[in-house]
Amino acid sequence: MGMEPTLVIIKPDGLKKSLTGDILSRLSETKLKIIAAKIMKVPKELAEKHYQHLSKEPFFEELIRYITGKIHGENRVMAMVYYGEGAISKIREIAGATNPEEANPVSIRGAYGRILTSGIFENVIHASSSQDEAEREIKLWFEPDEIVMDLYPTEEKVFEKVIKRVWKE
Ligand code: IDP
Ligand code: MG
C-alpha cells in the first residue's frame, strides 16, 4: 500500500454508452488525485502489450477487438492515472469483479457491465491490479511529460530526424 499510482481506462463500451461522467464521479469518491488523463485511439500493438498476460486465452483475439473498439464501432478510450494512498485497491473495489455478473451490483462493473454472446466480459473499465502491473501499464500508456508527477526514473534522449505532425501554419 502507501502512496501509489494506478492506471484506469474507460473502455470503448463506457464511451459508447456515455458513462464517462458517471464513472469519473464514482472514482472521485476515493478522493484520489488524477495526475494524467487523455482520450485516445488504441493501436493494436498497444492493446496486445497491455493484455500480454492473457495472450494464451481463447478469448484473447476478441479481447483485442474489444479494447481497440472494433466490437462497439467506438475507437475511443479514456486513459487516466490516479494517485494516492492505496489507490490500486480503492479503485479495484469501486470497479468490481472482472466478471460483471459476479461483480457487486453497486460497483461500476456490476452496474454497467455485461457478458457478450462471444463470451467476452464487457466490463466498462480497466484498473491495474498490483504495483508492478501499474508501473508496466502506466509506462505503456503515458509518456513522462503527460503525467504531472515524477513517478518513475526518467532519462533524456536526443532524437535526430524526428517527424512530427503539427498544426499547419
Ligand atoms: P481485470 O480487468 O479484472 O484485471 P483480467 O484477468 O486482467 O481482469 O482480464 C482483462 C480483461 O479481459 C477483463 O477485464 C475482461 O474484459 C476480459 N476477461 C478476463 N477474463 C475473461 C473471461 O474468462 N472471459 C471473458 N473475458 C474475460
Ligand atoms: Mg487485469
Query: Can you give the pLDDT at residue 151?
Result: 98
DSSP 23-78: HHHHHHTTTPEEEEEEEEE--HHHHHHHTGGGTTSTTHHHHHHHHTTTTTT--EEE
Residue 64's pLDDT is 98
The pLDDT value given to residue 162: 93
* Residue from 98, 108, 120, 129 to probe ligand 1 pocket by mutation (most atoms less than 8 Å from CB): 98
| Residue with CA nearest ligand 1 atom 25 | 120
Residue 77 pLDDT level (bands cut at 50, 70, 90): very high
What is the number of the ligand closest to the CA of 107?
Answer: 1
pLDDT at 1 over 90: no
- Region 3-146: CATH code: 3.30.70.141
Atom of ligand 1 nearest to the CA of 97: 3
129 lines ligand 1 (CB under 6 A): yes
Is the model's pLDDT at 75 over the cut of 80? yes
Question: In the prediction, which pLDDT does 18 show?
Answer: 97
Maximum separation of any 2 CA atoms in the chain, in Å: 54
- Ligand 1 pocket residue status of 123, Cβ below 6 Å: yes
Closest CA to 30 of 135, 107, 132: 107
Cα 101 from Cα 110, distance rounded (Å): 7
**pLDDT more than 90, % of the chain:** 99
**Does the beta carbon of 119 lie inside 6 Å of ligand 1?**
yes
Does residue 84 register a pLDDT over 80? yes
Alpha carbon 50 to chain centroid, angstroms = 9
Which residue CA neighbors atom 24 of ligand 1 most closely? 120
Per-residue pLDDT, 105: 97
Work out the average pLDDT over 94-116. Answer: 97
Q: Measured between alpha carbons, how far is 114 from 11 in angstroms, rounded to an integer? A: 13
Strands annotated E in the chain: 3-10, 33-41, 76-85, 114-115, 121-122, 125-127
Q: Which cell is 83 given?
A: 494517485
Work out the pLDDT band at 139, boundaries 50, 70, 90.
very high
Residue pointed to by grid coordinates 459508447? 16
How many CB atoms within 10 Å of residue 118? 13
Mean of the per-residue pLDDT values of the chain: 97
Residues forming the active site: 126
Ligand 1 atom closest to the Cα of residue 122 is 16
Pair 77, 15: CB distance under 8 Å: yes
